[in-house]
C-alpha cells in the first residue's frame, strides 16, 4: 500500500517538529504545534511516533547516524590528518548552512541527548571515529604522539559545537564567509596552536 505516502507523512511530521522545536525549544513546544505546522491532525503525530520525546529522539538518532556515516567517510579518505580534521569541521559547521533549524534543535537540546539513551551509541561511535582519525595521524607521524587522542577528539568537537552555539544564539557572526573562516581557524588553531613560533 501507499508506503510512500506514509513515509512522506512521517518525514513531514519530523520536519515540522524540527521547525517547531527550533522556534522556542522542545519543552515549550506542544505536540499540537507540531501537528499544526505539519498540517495534519493531532492524533496523526501519535500514529507515527509514540510520544513527543520519540520525535526528539528520532531527530537526534537520524542526525548522529548521518554524522557517523560522514565522519567514517572522511576516515576512509586517503588524505593528510589535517585535511581529515578539516573535513570533520566542514561537516559539523556546514550543518548550519544546510539546516539551521536542525542545528538550533541539536544545540538547544544537547543536554537531553545523553538522557535519551538509545542514540548515545551513535554519538559514541562518531566520537570514536574522530578519535581514530587522530590516532591514525599520530601513527603516520603527522600529528604529535604526546597528546591524548581521545581528549583531542573531544576538544575538537567541543570547539565546533561552541561555534555552532555562538551562531544559534547570534553571538558570533554566521554569514557564509564567517562560516568558512571559522572552519579554517578552528583547524589551524587545533593543528598549529595559538603560540607564536
Partner DNA sequence: GATGAATGAGATTTCATTCAT
Partner DNA sequence: AATGAATGAAATCTCATTCAT
The residue to which cell 598549529 is assigned: 192
Those residues whose C-beta lies under 8 Å from the C-beta of residue 12, and which sit 6 or more positions away, are: 38, 39, 40
The whole-angstrom separation of Cα 98 and Cα 68 is 17
The answer to whether 125 contacts a second copy (rule: CB under 8 A) is no
Which lies closer to DNA via its Cβ, residue 31 or residue 135? 31
Which lies closer to DNA via its Cβ, residue 27 or residue 140? 27
The nearest distance, CB 12 to DNA, in angstroms, is 9
Task: Return the C-alpha cell found at 149.
Answer: 587522542
Which lies closer to DNA via its Cβ, residue 51 or residue 97? 51
Those residues whose C-beta lies under 8 Å from the C-beta of residue 112, and which sit 6 or more positions away, are: 26, 56
Site track 21-60 with a second copy (rule: CB under 8 A), x = hit: ----x-x---------------------------------
Neighbours of 47 (CB within 10 A): 13
Which lies closer to DNA via its Cβ, residue 42 or residue 169? 42
| Partner from a second copy, DNA, none binding residue 155, C-beta < 5-8 Å depending on class | a second copy
Site track 133-162 with a second copy (rule: CB under 8 A), x = hit: -x--x---xxxxxxxx-xxx-xx-xxxxxx
Q: Which residues bind DNA (CB under 7 A)?
A: 1-2, 5-6, 9, 28-32, 40-44, 46-48, 50-53
The whole-angstrom separation of Cα 195 and Cα 46 is 55
Which lies closer to a second copy via its Cβ, residue 11 or residue 25? 25
Let me know if 80 is exposed, middle or buried by CB neighbors in 10 A (0-12, 13-18, 19+): middle
Select the span of 12-20, 35-43, 71-79, 186-194 touching a second copy (CB under 8 A): 186-194
The answer to whether 190 contacts a second copy (rule: CB under 8 A) is yes
The interaxial angle of helices 81-98 and 100-108, nearest 10 deg, is 100
Q: Please, are residues 123 and 57 in contact by the beta-carbon 8 Å criterion? A: no
Q: What is the DSSP letter of 29?
A: -
Residues that bind a second copy (CB under 8 A): 25, 27, 81-82, 85, 107-111, 114-115, 124, 134, 137, 141-148, 150-152, 154-155, 157-163, 165-166, 169, 171-172, 181-182, 185-186, 188-196
Amino acid at each position: 500500500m501507499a508506503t510512500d505516502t506514509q513515509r512522506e507523512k512521517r518525514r513531514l511530521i519530523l520536519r515540522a517538529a524540527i521547525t517547531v522545536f527550533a522556534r522556542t525549544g522542545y519543552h515549550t513546544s506542544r505536540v499540537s504545534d507540531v501537528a499544526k505546522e505539519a498540517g495534519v491532525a493531532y492524533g496523526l503525530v501519535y500514529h507515527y511516533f509514540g510520544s513527543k520525546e520519540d520525535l526528539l529522539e528520532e531527530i537526534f538518532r537520524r542526525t548522529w547516524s548521518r554524522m557517523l556515516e560522514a565522519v567514517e567517510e572522511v576516515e576512509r579518505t586517503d588524505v593528510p590528518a589535517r585535511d581529515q580534521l578539516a573535513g570533520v569541521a566542514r561537516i559539523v559547521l556546514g550543518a548550519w548552512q544546510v539546516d539551521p533549524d536542525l542545528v538550533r534543535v541539536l544545540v538547544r537540546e544537547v543536554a537531553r541527548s545523553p538522557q535519551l539513551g538509545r542514540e548515545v551509541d551513535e554519538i559514541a561511535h562518531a566520537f570514536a571515529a574522530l578519535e581514530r582519525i587522530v590516532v591514525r595521524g599520530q601513527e603516520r607521524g603527522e600529528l604529535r604522539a604526546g597528546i591524548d587522542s581521545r581528549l583531542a577528539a573531544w576538544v575538537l568537537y567541543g570547539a565546533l559545537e561552541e561555534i555552532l552555539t555562538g551562531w544559534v544564539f547570534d553571538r558570533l557572526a554566521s554569514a557564509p564567509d564567517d562560516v568558512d573562516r571559522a572552519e579554517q581557524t578552528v583547524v589551524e588553531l587545533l593543528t598549529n596552536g595559538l603560540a607564536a613560533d
